[in-house]
Structure 1
Amino acid sequence: MLDRVIDRQCDDLHRAAEAQDPPAFLATLQELWQGTEDCDPATADAVLVRLCDLFGRLSPGLGARLAVMGGAMVENGADPAPLIDPVVAGVCDALERSAEFARAWRAVTDRRLPEPGPEDHVLLGAARVLSGPFGLLGRLGLGRRLPSPRALDLAVGWSIADDWSTAATTLLQRSAAIRAEFSRRPRLTAAVAAVEDDRPDLWCLPRLLAVLDDEPLIVVHRPAARAYAMTIGGIGDNFQLSTLLAHVLSEHVPVTIPHPSWVEAATDGPLRPEAGPIVDRFDVRDATGELIRNAGHPAEIPLLDGHRVVVLDRPSFRRTWNIGRTYPMMRPSITLDRVLSEEETRMWSSRLAPVS
């Protein structure tokens, strides 16, 4: 049961959508946000259900603002299931328009692509009237080269891609099941790939789509001549992976145990550990002998016979970082499945390239 004020605001939101009144819709959406900013999961769940009834009645721009609000409800504990389909559809549409916008832009000018700014959001409700020479199209330089309605569609898509991406990244951090659902959408994969070079501001989206879940990992600790079969999931980058490997293996190999606050920062605690900068405990290499970039992510670790292989050596110099995980809401998993036998360890070790 919703609070009466929140229930009334949801009703007002539906009325504004039916009346096609963007200013009233945005004002009510802001009121609803303020009233639910710290709401309990049951309220967030009920609000999200009401919000998701609206997507089919809204312009892409207003839909993008609604999607951000829906993501906030997911952060407050709402079941994300009703939001998945509208967000996938919205982000695909915005990214596809963004890719076409970039192609059209390059066809008419050699200027740099514009940086989408928050000021464009106030224009979304009045998108149909912004085709004049002093409006959005005039600023983008497309009005004379493309039919005005289509040029406006592309400019709006370019403008709202960030909001749709924000909602998508919220969902992708929520669970492995949602990440698997997103990865099964070929349209989304293609849309993200089409804009990845032109929209570095959306970097979280392709990185989250590449997150590995239930991924087998062979870890060889070269100084101890021991190897381990592990399974990882929900790990955003190799900084985080390195910390978690040191934590899980600290009872098995000679390594200085990571400070508990480093481990908390890499799992579900404050992002910045109270103990100060996290100190790397290993040189982390792949099977070819190359150092694995801490700033990279596990999906970049090359496969060897279908397994990603990580080789741990003593640290050659002191490396530190301040943040325990890139994605605050994504909970990692790392399990030590078994200690490999001496024979298995020799087999994997024999296939490793020497350190150059």
Structure 2
Amino acid sequence: MINERCDDLYRAADAQDAPGFLATLQDLWERTEDSDPATADAVLVRLCGLFDRLPPGLGARLAVMGGAMVENGADPAPLIDPVVEGLCDALERSAEFARAWRAVTDRRLPEPGPEDQVVLGAARVLSGPFGLPGRLGLGRRLPFARALDLVVGWSIAEDWSAAATTVLQRSAAIRADLSRRPRLAAAVAATEDDRPDLWCLPRLLAVLDDEPLIVLHRPTGRAYAMTIGGIGDNFQLSTLLAHVLNGHVPLTIPHPSWVEAATDGPLEPEAGPIVARFDLRDGTGESIRTAGCPADIPLLDGSVWWSSTVRRSGVRGTSAAPIR
């Protein structure tokens, strides 16, 4: 039955039957929501053959479905290139949409979303008689078809980003591959300020893996060589440092549920909100923001981080070895 549903998707795509395609995709999801990895793998391979047959909006919905199969254990390899292509296209159109919007109106950028009324309304602002004439510097407004194209990119970027986020979380090798793709890096940078809802994407692309660093604990005069990987922010780093340095430096041990939340456990720890155990400083002595990420910390002969103060009150991790 699953193969038959996949066949139906191909027929709907070839017939340009968008409602039929979406209905079939929903039915397929309901049949595979709890699928085993082997089934998810087979479904994903079939799905990835559809991207070239679909317009961007339907491709974005297909990408979300593909991401769900990856979460069920499918090999993400066949999804990577279609998702990167679709994401870059949507982000590039989003950046152009934001520029065109500001050129014709002082209104705030519209909230991205798939609602037809919102999409059509935004396209009319870029192409119609409303707004501030002459700002585009083109001598005319955008043709409606082009305006609609940009608005659609703005509205579907979130779906493409969701699929990319799923893929990026699978392995360090995938993160390393995608972070070295110049088109993706440029597209993410061009929309970062205007699309705070996509914050997870640049953060994942900036994740350091197999990164060596030196941690100095100034109160005890001890230093430790470490390797970190899969750490999303410095608050997570602080928690994991406290965990691996337990028994090496005096500190209040983080609750096990905090450590689980900082690795691969439930995000809501049973012990309540996590309390940072260290005040982290960089190699120059400047405070390290817990809201930042390890990639933001300046290098000093590699990566040197200072843990200046131990607080005694209130995706992988780290490994450590003392420096003699």
TM range (shorter): over 0.9
Partner Cα distance (2:85, 2:264) in 1: 30
Give the Cα–Cα distance (whole angstroms) in 1 for the partners of residues 147 and 235 of structure 2: 42
Report Cα offsets for 1:189-231 as digits up to 9, x if no partner: 0111111111111111111111111111110011111001101
Query: What do residues 101-156 of structure 1 show as CA deviations (whole Å, max 9, x unaligned)?
Result: 11111111111111112424x999xxxxx6xxxx6623x44345211211111111
Compute the TM-score of the two structures, normalised by the length of structure 2.
0.92
RMSD of equivalent CA atoms:
1.7
Among 57, 64, 81, the residue aligned to 1:68: 64
SS at match of 2:303: strand
The aligned amino acid for 2:12 is A
Range with greater deviation from structure 2 (84-93 or 7-16): 7-16
In structure 1, what is the Cα distance between the partners aligned to 2:113 and 2:154? 10
More off after superposition, 216-225 vs 280-289: 280-289
Q: Distance in 1 between matches of 2:154 and 2:128?
A: 15
Aligned: 1:334 with 2:318? yes
Deviation, structure 1 residue 14:
0.8
Asked if structure 2 preserves the Cα contact closer than 8 Å seen for 1:108 and 1:142, the reply is no
> Matched residues in 1 for 2:112 and 2:62: separation?
19
286, 308, 314: which one aligns with 1:313: 308
Whole-Å separation in 2 of the counterparts to 1:158 and 1:57: 21
CA contact (8 A) 1:143 1:151 kept: no
- Of residues 72, 76, 79, the one that matches 1:80 is 76
Bigger mean CA deviation after superposition, 16-25 or 254-263: 254-263
Query: Using the alignment, how far apart are the partners of 1:156 and 1:44 within structure 2?
Result: 29
Match of 1:173 in 2: 169
Give the C-alpha shift of residue 254 in structure 1: 1.2
**Count of residues paired in the alignment:** 313
Give the whole-Å Cα distance in 2 for the aligned partners of 1:236 and 1:52.
29
In the alignment, which of 242, 248, 253 is matched to residue 252 of structure 1? Answer: 248
CA deviations on 1:225-283 (whole Å, 9 max, x unpaired) are 10011010100111110111011111211122222111111111111111222222221
The whole-number CA distance in structure 1 between the counterparts of 2:263 and 2:85 is 31
Partners of 2:122 and 2:24 in 1: how far apart? 25
2:311 & 2:32 partners in 1: Cα distance? 50
Q: Distance in 2 between matches of 1:185 and 1:312?
A: 34
Q: Contact 1:234–1:332 at 8 Å: present in 2 too?
A: yes
> Is 2:94 the partner of 1:110?
no
Q: CA 1:149–1:141 in structure 2 vs 1: closer, same or farther (change >3 Å)? A: closer
Structure 2 distance, partners of 1:149, 1:230, is 54
Q: Which runs of 5+ in 1 are unaligned?
A: 125-129, 320-330, 342-356
Do the aligned residues in 1 keep the contact of 2:87 with 2:157 (CA within 8 Å)? yes
The equivalent residue for 1:142 is 127
What TM-score, normalized by structure 1, do the two folds share?
Answer: 0.84
Q: For the residues of structure 2 that align with 1:161 and 1:175, how far apart are their CA atoms?
A: 23
